[in-house]
Structure 1
Amino acid sequence: MKAALAAAVVVALTATACASSPAPPGSTTSPVSSTSASDEASASPTAEALPRVETLSEIAGTRWGGRDSEGDSVTFDFEEGGQLTYFSFGERYSREGDTWSADGDTLTWLVTFGGPYGTCTYVGAFDAAAQTISAPYTCSASDAPSGTIELEQRPG
């Protein structure tokens, strides 16, 4: 119990720190809505059992999070109908062009950051045994960094 409480405090403190962090460099778009520390905490792993995703055809309605190669913590909600919601820096983003699609074990998703990033395209490989998604990404803006992200399922 003490460990769970300590973990919750760390998550809450991290979420509070993230909420006061600036938006990604050069971001020119406003978030759809702010998240609270409790929203951010729900995006962190817990002892809660998550349903196994055996194939990407089952990914709709699930949440996945991790850190990208720049060290930023990110969370993606892969929603029904191919819509995507993105959480970063304590904010929630959901834009019309943010979408995902699956083909076999490959998951492709687009995120519109704007500013110096433009739209970033992630093409990930799903590992059903490990319950992870590994994806390189590239962004449409010429000076934007490319990188990788490793995701694991999170409670939603």
Structure 2
Amino acid sequence: MAEPRYEEVGVGTRLPTLTHILCRGDLVVYAGASGDFNPIHWSERAAARAGLPTVIAHGMLTLGIALRTVTAWAGREAVLECGARFAAPVSVPDTDEGVEIVADGIVAEKLGEGRVRVELTVRCGGEKVLARPRAVVRLS
């Protein structure tokens, strides 16, 4: 897919939906890459002690997965900034099926100088797991 051009994009332009299956092994890989070895991301006992139903995904991993919606649309180098609040934990079962994260986005504002603000919606099990996820992207 060709990267979008600023002149051709308008407020309301929808980004393609991304569906990602997240498994326990992904949490291990992310922990190693990020250095975040908090046991709530790998130990059932630690998750239970913290009052969680099971092991949960790292919040920044969830945001990173959601941002793939933007990078698939505009390219990795296009993302200038991003942010979100963590609204709900993503419980990751100890199964081969894992858990499904679904993300989509919409151009919310044209900022000028080739930049647009994209607002994302990120759900797991039908529940929004990130609040106000957004990115500023530079288009050609």
Give the TM bin, normalised by the shorter chain. Answer: 0.3 to 0.5
Q: With structure 2 as the length reference, what TM-score do the two structures score?
A: 0.32
Q: Which has the higher helix share?
A: 2
Structure with max Cα Rg: 2
Q: Higher RCO, 1 or 2 (CA under 8 Å, sep at least 6)?
A: 2
Q: Which has the higher strand share?
A: 1
